[in-house]
Amino acid sequence: MPDIDQIRQLIEMMVSNDLVELSVRDGETEVTLRRPNPKGSETVFHAIPSYSGPMPAMGPSGGGAAGSTVEEAATELVEIRSPMVGTFYSAPDPESPPFVQAGSHVGPATVVCVLEAMKVFSEIKAETSGTIERVLVGNGEAVEYGQPLFLVKPS
Amino acid sequence: MPDIDQIRQLIEMMVSNDLVELSVRDGETEVTLRRPNPKGSETVFHAIPSYSGPMPAMGPSGGGAAGSTVEEAATELVEIRSPMVGTFYSAPDPESPPFVQAGSHVGPATVVCVLEAMKVFSEIKAETSGTIERVLVGNGEAVEYGQPLFLVKPS
Amino acid sequence: MFRRILIANRGEIALRIIRACRELNIEVACVFSEDDRGSAYLELADQAICIGGASPKESYLKSDRLIAAAEVAKADAIHPGYGFLAENAAFAEKCRACNIEFIGPNAAAMRLLGDKASARSVAKRAKVAIIPGSDGVLEDDNEAVRLAEKIGFPVMIKAAAGGGGRGMRVAYDKTDLLSSLKQARQEADNAFKDSSVYIERYIDRPRHVEVQILADRHGNVVHLYERDCTLQRRHQKLVEESPSPAIDTRTRESLCAAAVKLAKAARYDSAGTVEFLVDSRGRFYFIEVNTRIQVEHPVSELVTRIDLIKAQIRAAAGEPLGFVQKAVRPAGHAIECRINAEDPDEKFRPCAGVVEKFRVPGGPGVRVDTHGYEGYRLSPQYDSLLAKLLVHQPTRPEAIRCMQRALREFHIEPLRTTLPFLRKMMAHPDFLDGNIDTGFVERSF
Amino acid sequence: MFRRILIANRGEIALRIIRACRELNIEVACVFSEDDRGSAYLELADQAICIGGASPKESYLKSDRLIAAAEVAKADAIHPGYGFLAENAAFAEKCRACNIEFIGPNAAAMRLLGDKASARSVAKRAKVAIIPGSDGVLEDDNEAVRLAEKIGFPVMIKAAAGGGGRGMRVAYDKTDLLSSLKQARQEADNAFKDSSVYIERYIDRPRHVEVQILADRHGNVVHLYERDCTLQRRHQKLVEESPSPAIDTRTRESLCAAAVKLAKAARYDSAGTVEFLVDSRGRFYFIEVNTRIQVEHPVSELVTRIDLIKAQIRAAAGEPLGFVQKAVRPAGHAIECRINAEDPDEKFRPCAGVVEKFRVPGGPGVRVDTHGYEGYRLSPQYDSLLAKLLVHQPTRPEAIRCMQRALREFHIEPLRTTLPFLRKMMAHPDFLDGNIDTGFVERSF
């Protein structure tokens, strides 16, 4: 194993000189470094979700809004996404406990939150069965269309 | 593990000469470097001759001006290039026969043409030995710096 | 003045409004659809909010979602741009009902002028010449025939709610008229969910000349002179210029005065455009009003040095214009070319895809308004306008030469665009002579 | 008028001249070095001619090859741009001896004004205020010391053939003076092959204000008002604007009048710039004349709506100016920012390499002059100017806001540029107040 410091130097040179591949071999010792080809990697449109259906209630598709969470989610978890633009409320009213929280079991008809837009409150249903893995939005936060609200581990 | 400094030097050469790949092997030691193909790969600058000496009389290097001819030439033929901007004359005067033509044998001191600029006529020597394979410029044509004038098959 | 504006639009006009807000020091939020996610202009807004799927029906036309977006963005005004909901009076009222100012005229003026039949009666009252025809919507075919015979064939059939040439037909005789009426109603119904049509005298070889109006909430109305938009293809404008090469000073003055009269009669209180047809003898007829900012507004900005978007925002915020008609002094000649992702060799079929090479012209006298860049993905969901190339020079010949060299510098690949067509246009003797009419493109290409 | 012009320069100024020629309907040939082969601007010329290797000595400075190129291109004039041979009187004469017009002033005026010492005597004759100092080159150190004590320390040492701050030194006392003289002569010798220097009174916290001159071969001379270039770093201009925020109307008028007087005294007959230092009390002193077009010329084009390159070409072709001073009516406020490929965090060290991301601003009031594009390879051989970003707005505050939003839109990667520095500048209270001097950048950053 070559000295870590040398490798660090190699990486620095690689990045500062914008190389995509660097490989060094010396007898038994071999180091190979690779970076993504910068071409087009800055153009953001790769982040556009693959689907473009009318309204994605849920689904493991990689949604732009959720970033890495989604990638991770894509493996096994399922998202519940916002079907609208509005304000997220985790409970029916300030006094009541939240509809669901991490660990809650949900069925397709389970109400998981309400979204308020133009003074109208809409109940959002899970539309899937499983256990809430994570709540992705805080109470009272604004959410946009297609934004993941919950991660659910399907049962 | 080869000396980091050597690698740094390699990278510098690579970047300053705008190479996309560089790999060096020396017995046990081996270094491979790769850079992204520049976006503007359509931009012609790849055609810049690698040398940038004051005046390229000849040389098998792929010269921008000559295009495909050069690629072909690069394999075995040698170019005689214009060291200046001016007008190409294949003969000393309208009455005389051309200095050389396809098939002529030339030595380093053989005059192959004259170039006129600002009323001054300069004799151009072959500066290589071999047989003229092709004359690339017509009598009286304007030539630019570095433009291939003749292809020579070395003897 | 507004603290934060929500832009309920996309593409180049969204970018244009972002620029105006930045310069006015107003915060700006911009909505976007799934298909516009990642567009570079969104990075220039203080906030970008996804409001729905790619199809306009699912996003830019969804009024509730736009207002909800304005609420979560805490915006105190919405700029509709052009197209989509820009001329929808109901949307304007809905915004204002939610205490969000709609940056455009009052709803009454929008309704009055948005419907062509009622717009005609306003013009009549204001003593502005109109094209002889049915006053308002046609009851039935018999009325249409009687009227057509009175006006004299050929007659033009138009959709009352129409625009962009949809639902338009020319009828040369009675039988022609009856079949055309049917088609026109059909088209109008598909396009506007409103099949009502009207007819008017068909003006042969007219020029399309429109007057830019700027008005405030205090009753001040000025005009920013005219734009000549005669170079059209199927009623789609391709090139606009100011001043018009085809009208003399006297015509110009009465044309602009007529537009102001009409705007005042309708109590208009924002930026808008009054469109006229000008016949070969210089007589002009009012045709319609656009109660919004237009694609070609920069032409007037260049000759008057007035920023129309800023002025429109100030007016909506209740500020008085702050200048009088005499202060509007046009200078030089401006031309706009619309660079659309359309294939001129295939009936201007729209093209979509990723822009790989995008080199815009620059230098003196050149203005470019575009949301495009290398790597931009042009969606087939929206209109094909990719860039507006404008030039401003002391005289028309200089402006044309400047446009020629700028068009030569503009490179877009691999998408097909109208660039080659526009290069031909700028070298066409009839255009150089200013000797064209609205039918020129169909006849010549 | 000329039939065909050869451009003996590169980069943005070559592109600027190509654009002017296109608009004047003059054919244009452009030379290039091996390092500039394939640059996009060359595609816009009618002919491109390789004249030598990457190093300027091997190409853009090789007068014989430039003239030979003009001959093979059958050009009847050479435009030298700025830098390289633009102020070389011998080159101008050589061109004209070959019946190729040099687009610039007559050689006598170039020599007279090109040498600072003789330029000072012209100014003196023309009764234009100069900075007290040695009349012409210093014979020896003793003379320098005597003079310095007469003028009063601190004194400024300058190279007679100098420019861009090379060979410039400030001396605060006698010993300081003697060592500085040595260094200055050394630098001057290296930079200009001419070690002669002179000294003058050092003006504390001055502003750099220059007047744009336009003259023809018929004795007509007008000024296009001033440019304030006070925002410099080590005598390298970073930002230029017009009008100057620091001088009043009376100062402006006498400043411009002085510049015209001086130009007439030197029988100047082309475009040129007369540079002044303005002290805190509004007194101005002539410093030097640039007998060429300048990088920042577009600032004056925006406020006067006069195309300087076209005018310069017309004058060289022997055409009279065609307008008088009263016809030059400046309007609005213009600012230019120079976007250089330099790292502001590393003492503005020049950066070279391939431009991968290049997004230029646009929209109202914005002008961009650049030879850059995505894929452009910036050579370390030449200066680091990559783009000139200009704005034109009715007032200075509006111009600054417009510049701020335009700088925000400008994206260049991966090369380091002066963009972040310029963004800071445009938000700096002292710049906003117009309250800076030529030492501002060194003191504040």
Instruction: Using CA coordinates, name the residue in chain A closest to C41.
Output: A44
In this prediction, residue B7 carries a pLDDT of 77
Digit-coded pLDDT (tens) for C390-438: 999 999 999 999 999 999 999 999 999 999 999 999 999 999 999 999 9
Could you tell me the CA-to-CA distances from D100 to A147, B115, D45, D68, D76 in Å, in that order? 68, 20, 19, 11, 5
Q: Which of C13, C17, C19 to mutate to test the interface with D (most CBs of D within 10 A)?
A: C19
User: Is the per-residue pLDDT at B105 higher than 50?
Assistant: yes
Quick one: pLDDT at residue A27? Answer: 65
Reported confidence tier of residue A63, pLDDT bands at 50, 70, 90: very low
Q: Torsion angle of alpha carbons D407, D413, D415, D417, nearest 10°? A: 10
For helices D63-72 and D89-97, angle between their N-to-C axes, nearest 10 degrees: 30
Mutate one of B16, B42, B46, B48 to test the D interface: name it (highest D CB count within 10 A): B48
How many residue pairs from chains A and D have C-beta atoms closer than 8 A? 8
Are B145 and D38 in contact (CB < 8 Å)?
Answer: no
pTM of the shown model? 0.83
Q: How far is CA B93 from CA B99, B134, B136, in A?
A: 10, 21, 19
Q: According to the model, what pLDDT value does residue C138 have?
A: 84
* DSSP letter for each residue of C278-289: E-TTS-EEEEEE
| Chain C positions touching chain D (beta carbons under 8 Å) | 15-16, 19, 22-23, 25, 40, 44, 298, 301, 305, 307, 331-332, 359-360, 362-370, 373-374, 394, 398, 401-402, 404-405, 408-409
CA distance D48 to C113: 57
All residues of chain D having their beta carbon less than 8 Å from the beta carbon of residue A42 are 356-357, 413
Q: At D2, phi and psi to the nearest 5?
A: -70, 150
Indicate yes or no: CB of A45 within 8 angstroms of CB of C39.
Answer: yes
Q: Which positions in chain A touch C377 (Cβ < 8 Å)?
A: 45, 48
Q: What pLDDT shows up at residue C12?
A: 98
| Range with the poorest average pLDDT among A4-13, A42-51, B83-92 | A42-51
Query: What single-letter amino acid sits at B39?
Result: K
Q: Looking at the predicted structure, is the pLDDT value of residue A67 above 60?
A: no
Place B28 in a pLDDT band, splitting at 50, 70 and 90. Answer: low
Q: Give the minimum alpha-carbon distance from A5 to chain B in angstroms, rounded to a whole number.
A: 10
The angle formed by the CA atoms of residues C223, C335 and C25, to the nearest 5 degrees, is 60
- % chain A with pLDDT above 70: 66
CA distance A29 to chain C (A): 41
Chain A residues inside the 8 Å CB shell of C39: 44-45
Cβ partners under 8 Å of residue B88, min gap 6: B82, B113, B115, B137, B138, B139, B140, B141, B142, B143, B149
Return d(Cα D40, Cα C160) in angstroms, integer: 50
Across B87-96, C97-106, C139-148, C428-437, least confident range: C139-148
Do the Cβ atoms of D414 and A42 come within 8 Å? no
pLDDT at B71 over 50: no
Positions in chain D whose pLDDT score sits under 50: none
Cβ partners under 8 Å of residue D253, min gap 6: none
Does B52 contact D49 at a Cβ distance shorter than 8 Å? no
Pairing of strands C169-171, C77-79: unpaired
Mean pLDDT of C328-338: 97
Q: Which residues of D touch B53 (CB under 8 A)?
A: 53
CB < 8 Å to D23, chain C: 398, 401-402, 405
Interface test with A, best of B8, B12, B23, B33 (most A CBs within 10 A): B33
3-state secondary structure of D75: coil
Higher pLDDT among residues B59 and B9, named by residue = B9
CA of A138 vs chain C CAs: smallest distance (Å): 14
Determine the pLDDT at residue B148.
96
- Nearest-CA distance A8 → chain B (Å): 11
Share of chain B above pLDDT 70, in %: 65
**pLDDT above 50 for A54:** no
What mean pLDDT is predicted for residues B18-22?
A: 68
For testing the chain A interface, which of D345, D346, D351, D356 should be mutated: the one with the most A CBs within 10 Å? Answer: D356
Of D301, D360, D362, the CB nearest to C364: D301
User: Locate tokens 């939003």: which residue?
Assistant: D405
Per-residue pLDDT, B18: 67
Chain B positions touching D37 (Cβ under 8 A) are 44-45, 47-48, 64
The answer to whether C290 and C327 have CB atoms below 8 angstroms apart is no
pLDDT at B17: 67
Q: Which residues of D touch A39 (CB under 8 A)?
A: 356
Contacts of residue C11, Cβ cutoff 8 Å, sequence gap at least 6: C36, C39, C41, C371, C382, C383, C385
D413 in contact with chain A, both atoms CB, cutoff 8 A: yes
Distances (CA, A) of D103 to D78, D98, D210, D247, D314: 6, 14, 21, 32, 9
Cα(D302)–Cα(D243) distance, integer angstroms: 11
pLDDT of A62 over the 80 cut: no
Contact at 8 Å (CB) between D110 and D291?
A: yes
Touching check for C51 and chain A: CB below 8 Å? yes
Cβ-nearest to D364 among C301, C331, C366: C301
Residue burial D23-48, b: 16+ Cβ < 10 Å; e: rest: bbebbbbbbbbbbbbbbbbbebbebb
State the nearest Cα–Cα gap between A50 and chain C, in angstroms: 10
Instruction: Report how far apart the first and last C-alpha atoms of chain C are (Å, whole number).
Output: 49
Write out the H or E segment, with its range, that includes residue C394: none
Residue D414: asked if its preceding bond is cis (omega within 30°), the reply is yes
Contact status, residue B128 vs residue B80, Cβ threshold 8 Å: yes
When CB atoms are compared, the residue of C53, C67, C73 closest to A52 is C53
Bridge partners (DSSP) listed for residue B121 = B116
What interface predicted TM-score (ipTM) does this complex get? 0.78
Q: Are the CB atoms for C6 and C79 separated by under 8 Å?
A: yes
Give how far the C-alpha of residue C363 lies from the chain's centroid of Cα atoms, to the nearest Å.
27
**Token duo for residue B108:** 């380093």
Cα separation of D262 and D120, whole Å?
Answer: 10
pLDDT at B69: 41
Pick D50's closest partner by Cβ from B41, B117, B146. B146
pLDDT of res. C134: 79
Nearest neighbour of A26 by CB, restricted to B14, B28, B36: B28
Question: Does residue B11 register a pLDDT over 80?
Answer: no
Neighbours of chain C (3+ CB pairs under 8 A): A, D
How far is residue B25 from each of residues A25, A31, A153, C338, measured CA to CA in Å? 9, 14, 52, 57
Q: What chain B residue is nearest to D41 in terms of C-alpha separation?
A: B43
Q: Are D367 and D391 in contact (CB under 8 A)?
A: yes
Q: How near does any CA of chain A get to the CA of C162, in Å?
A: 28
pLDDT of residue D87: 96
Which secondary-structure segment (H or E) carries D57?
none
Taking contacts as CB-CB distances below 8 angstroms, the residues of chain D near B86 are 68, 71-72
Whether D50 has its CB under 8 Å from any CB of chain B: the answer is yes
Contact between chains at C359 and D373 (C-beta distance less than 8 A): yes
pLDDT of residue A52: 30
Smallest Cα distance from A39 to chain D, Å: 8
Options D10, D65, D207, D292, the catalytic residue? D292
Instruction: Look at D307 and C364 and tell me if their CB atoms are within 8 Å.
Output: yes
Is pLDDT of C269 > 70? yes
pLDDT in tens, C348-394: 999 999 999 999 999 999 999 999 999 999 999 999 999 999 999 99
Nearest neighbour of B29 by CB, restricted to A3, A6, A26:
A26
Chain D neighbors of A18, CB-CB under 8 A: 353, 414
Tell me, what's the pLDDT at D234? 87
Per the annotation, the verdict on D234 as an active-site residue is no
* D-interface mutation test, from A14, A18, A35, most D Cβ less than 10 A away: A18
DSSP per-residue string spanning D242-280: ES-TT--HHHHHHHHHHHHHHHHHTT--SEEEEEEEE-T
CA gap C376, C352 in Å, rounded: 10
